[in-house]
């Protein structure tokens, strides 16, 4: 089959060079490169034998997919940056919201604010809703969220620094201060009662608690008596060292009991094996 290309008129093809497309993102105009449409020349069946030449006829050009208005998928294949921009924008808003929420959750509390929470929770035995209201009235410049944040900050404060035998702050291998956890739920247990860690502001910080205007006078009087015995730092060392000692002793006893049980189990298994061997029939 012989293919012959006919002359193509430039005026007719000029309109095909540029196509404006109404895109999804606000009518984006896109200029698509257009190739000249191919022309297929097909040879007709031969005329009778008396015809010396074969006539050829030009068929209409086959529509090219480049000349058609792009479909939704075609458009996004050529403009694949649009979904990524939308995703990036959504991701940025989500990340900013997450960081904002996290920063509010980790809101810095001053020493007085933490002591205020402890005093109203432990010394005055108020509920968290009431504590939250008093807190807002006393510290109006503080950024508030909910009473759950106050309770979370209070529970995180229930820990004591650990000290070595020279009454120096104990640190781990990375230089971080080591703390002794004092869970509120554990103070009612036999172990918690034995340790006797202080939870009220009067008992834990009697020296600095006297300077707060929101502490009742009757509690300040009790604080003054306790402060005469020792300062707050010495008091913390005393309670922390005592709790460390008791916990170390308990762990040592648990370890000894565990080893004793393991040894007893080993001996019992050995005796059982020996008895089974002696009762085996001899052939």
CB contact set of 276 (below 8 Å; sequence gap of 6+):
none
Question: Which of 8-22, 45-59, 251-265 shows the lowest mean pLDDT across its residues?
Answer: 8-22
Q: How far is CA 132 from the centre of its chain?
A: 26
Question: Which of 28-42, 78-92, 133-147, 239-253 shows the lowest mean pLDDT across its residues?
Answer: 78-92
pLDDT at 133 over 60: yes
Residue found under tokens 């781990």: 172
Q: Which conformational region is residue 167 in: left (phi greater than 0), alpha (psi within -120 to 50 degrees), or beta?
A: left
Gap between the Cα atoms of 283 and 17, Å rounded? 104
Gap between the Cα atoms of 260 and 199, Å rounded? 37
Q: Tell me the pLDDT of the chain averaged across its residues.
A: 74
Phi and psi, residue 105, nearest 5°: -65, -35
Over range 262-267, report the average pLDDT.
Answer: 62
DSSP bridge partners of 57? 42
Gap between the Cα atoms of 38 and 5, Å rounded? 9
DSSP state of 281: P
DSSP bridge partners of 160? 180
pLDDT recorded at residue 107: 66
Q: For residues 114 and 210, is the Cβ–Cβ distance under 8 A?
A: no
Gap between the Cα atoms of 125 and 119, Å rounded? 8
Share of the chain above pLDDT 70, in %: 53
pLDDT band at 265, cuts 50/70/90? Answer: low
Over range 182-189, report the average pLDDT.
Answer: 90
Phi and psi, residue 180, nearest 5°: -105, 115
pLDDT recorded at residue 70: 53
More confident residue, 23 or 126: 126
DSSP bridge partners of 163? 169
Gap between the Cα atoms of 226 and 235, Å rounded? 10
pLDDT at 2 over 60: no
pLDDT recorded at residue 266: 58
Q: For residues 208 and 232, is the Cβ–Cβ distance under 8 A?
A: yes
More confident residue, 203 or 20: 203
Q: For residues 277 and 234, is the Cβ–Cβ distance under 8 A?
A: no
């Amino acid at each position: 089959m012989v293919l012959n290309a006919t002359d193509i008129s430039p005026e007719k093809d000029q309109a095909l060079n540029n196509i404006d497309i109404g895109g999804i993102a606000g009518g984006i105009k896109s200029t698509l490169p257009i190739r000249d449409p191919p022309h297929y020349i097909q040879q007709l069946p031969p005329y009778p034998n008396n015809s010396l030449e074969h006539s050829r006829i030009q068929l209409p050009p086959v529509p090219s997919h480049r000349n058609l208005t792009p479909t939704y998928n075609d458009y996004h294949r050529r403009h694949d940056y649009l979904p990524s921009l939308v995703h990036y924008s959504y991701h940025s808003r989500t990340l900013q919201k997450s960081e904002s929420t996290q920063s509010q959750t980790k809101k810095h509390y001053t020493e007085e604010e933490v002591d205020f929470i402890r005093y109203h929770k432990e010394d005055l035995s108020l509920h968290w809703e009431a504590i939250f209201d008093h807190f807002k009235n006393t510290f109006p410049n503080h950024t508030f969220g909910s009473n759950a944040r106050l309770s979370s900050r209070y529970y995180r404060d229930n820990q004591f620094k650990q000290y070595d035998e020279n009454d120096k702050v104990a640190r781990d291998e990375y230089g971080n201060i080591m703390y002794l956890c004092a869970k509120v739920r554990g103070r009612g247990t036999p172990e918690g009662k034995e340790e006797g860690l202080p939870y009220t502001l009067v008992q834990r910080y009697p020296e600095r608690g006297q300077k707060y205007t929101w502490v009742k006078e009757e509690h300040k009087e009790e604080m003054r008596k306790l402060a005469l015995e020792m300062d707050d730092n010495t008091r913390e060392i005393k309670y922390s060292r005592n709790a460390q000692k008791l916990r170390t002793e308990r762990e040592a006893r648990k370890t000894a009991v565990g080893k004793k049980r393991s040894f007893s189990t080993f001996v019992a298994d050995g005796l059982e094996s020996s008895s089974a061997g002696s009762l085996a029939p001899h052939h």
